[in-house]
């Protein structure tokens, strides 16, 4: 006659349905694995007070309290890490925004310098064009005077003939 003893801690309420499922499952396990007769298999469930069950030198009450404390500490650390990460993300976003503004400012300054350079070059080209036009006008005036001189000489020579 197979005998199965299941020991569980008394914490919360283990329902009659849960106990029935344990009995049926343990019985079926012996049938499936060892080929035992389910009619002769005995299953006993002992519920042990948590203060009467020890693990690692501590009662289950203490072990569970330590586990809950560790879990709360872990959650607090995770929350702290999340806040640090959020703060770092905000700082990074501000730095990116600052860099974008600086880049836009630099681009605007470069555009302005390019426009100033273009304006200076255009003004210089205009002055050179005006200077060339004056030189051409002067040359034309000189050529006109020379032509008039030659024409006067030619007219004098014609009269003298």
By annotation, the residues acting in catalysis are 2
Specify which residues 7 forms β-bridges with: 46
CA 110 to CA 118: how far, in whole Å? 12
Exposure string over 89-104, b if 16+ CB within 10 A, otherwise e:
eeeeeeeeeeeeeeee
CA 161 to CA 154: how far, in whole Å? 11
- Structure-token pair, residue 17: 């349905």
- Structure-token pair, residue 116: 């100033």
């Amino acid at each position: 006659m197979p005998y199965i003893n299941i020991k569980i801690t008394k914490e919360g309420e283990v329902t009659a349905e849960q106990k029935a499922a344990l009995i049926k499952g343990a019985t079926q396990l012996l049938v499936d694995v060892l080929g035992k007769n389910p009619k002769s298999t005995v299953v006993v469930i002992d519920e042990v007070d948590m203060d009467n069950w020890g693990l690692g030198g501590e009662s289950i009450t203490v072990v569970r309290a330590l586990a809950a404390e560790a879990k709360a500490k872990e959650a607090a650390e995770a929350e702290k890490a999340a806040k640090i990460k959020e703060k770092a993300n905000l700082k990074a976003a501000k730095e990116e925004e600052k860099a974008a503004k600086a880049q836009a400012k630099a681009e605007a300054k470069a555009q302005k310098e390019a426009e100033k350079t273009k304006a200076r070059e255009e003004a210089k080209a205009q002055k050179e064009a005006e200077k060339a036009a004056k030189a051409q006008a002067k040359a034309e005036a000189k050529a006109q005077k020379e032509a008039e001189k030659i024409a006067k000489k030619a007219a004098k020579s014609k009269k003298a003939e």
